């Protein structure tokens, strides 16, 4: 069982190992060339979250380090299509294979199957993963402040800009939010789950919202389970929510999303 104290370090280290293996199959130069050969994106992911009403990023996730296997039967294409039909604005796809049981294939196939933008949910530790995400069809990548330096966040946002995809910069506390702003993030996600001890507090988003300028889209992530939670976050000025486990555990995901949306 993974120690709660070193979960982020283990996830980041394993991501580096994965990248090293991937580069043996397709070099960084080859992957970069493939990504740049594709049409430049139009930042569809962040545009989808810029609307008057709160936006919904719905997650396809088979497992997590804290909860183990969440979905024994993982019909990821059916789940993604259900999310789209129920009015999701974007889809988050886990590609981390060891602890989240994700796959790059899931991302590629889902991106081809739906018309709404997808984000690659993974532990981005190398520019290779950004180019790879573009090739797989992602319209956005996740950059986690806890495992990256401010310089890396800024440089990775620049690579995303070059490709026309979005960077959702994830923060957990005041220092990381300020780091994300300084790096030039246009999308900041506050994770309500502390990945060091797995505790969840949706009030974390509300408490940090005022730090973020209005021109930056603010996303609340994790621990959101009810329409009441959504109402509180809406009142706090949150622009979008990322919901994973609550939807993945629902038998009728379309009905659950409609319920969360207050419909």
**Which residues are marked as active site?**
59, 61, 121, 170, 191, 221-222
**Distance, CA of 127 to CA of 19 (rounded, Å):** 10
Q: Are strands 166-171 and 140-144 parallel, antiparallel or unpaired?
A: parallel
Which DSSP symbol is given to 4? G
Look at the block and give the residue holding tokens 């021109």: 215
Residues ≥6 apart with Cβ < 8 Å to 31? 22, 128, 131, 132, 135
Q: Are 108 and 11 in contact (CB under 8 A)?
A: no
Rounded CA-CA distance 113/21 in Å is: 28
Contact 216, 225 (CB under 8 A): no
- Residues 98, 14: contact at Cβ < 8 Å? yes
Give me the DSSP letters along 216-239: SEEEEES---SHHHHHHHHHTT--
Contacts of residue 197, Cβ cutoff 8 Å, sequence gap at least 6: 4, 5
């Amino acid at each position: 069982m993974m120690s709660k104290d070193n979960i982020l370090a283990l996830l980041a280290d394993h991501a580096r190992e994965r990248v090293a293996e991937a580069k043996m199959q397709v070099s960084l130069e080859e992957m970069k060339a493939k990504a740049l050969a594709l049409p430049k994106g139009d930042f569809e992911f962040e545009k989808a979250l810029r609307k008057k009403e709160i936006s919904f990023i719905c997650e396809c996730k088979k497992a997590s380090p804290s909860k183990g296997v969440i979905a024994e039967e993982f019909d990821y294409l059916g789940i993604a299509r259900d999310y789209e039909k129920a009015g999701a604005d974007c889809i988050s796809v886990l590609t981390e294979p060891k602890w989240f049981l994700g796959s790059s294939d899931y991302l590629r196939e889902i991106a081809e199957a739906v018309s709404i933008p997808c984000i690659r949910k993974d532990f981005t530790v190398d520019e290779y993963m950004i180019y790879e995400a573009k090739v797989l069809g992602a319209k956005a990548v996740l950059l986690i402040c806890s495992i990256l330096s401010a310089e890396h966040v800024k440089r990775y946002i620049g690579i995303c800009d070059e490709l026309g995809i979005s960077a959702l910069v994830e923060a957990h506390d005041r220092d990381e939010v300020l780091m994300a702003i300084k790096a030039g993030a246009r999308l900041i996600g506050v994770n309500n789950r502390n990945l060091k001890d797995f505790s969840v507090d949706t009030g974390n988003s509300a408490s940090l919202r005022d730090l973020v300028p209005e021109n930056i889209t603010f996303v609340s992530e994790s621990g959101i389970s009810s329409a009441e939670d959504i109402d509180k976050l809406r009142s706090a000025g949150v622009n979008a929510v990322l919901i994973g486990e609550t939807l993945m555990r629902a038998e009728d995901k379309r009905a659950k999303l409609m319920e969360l949306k207050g419909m």
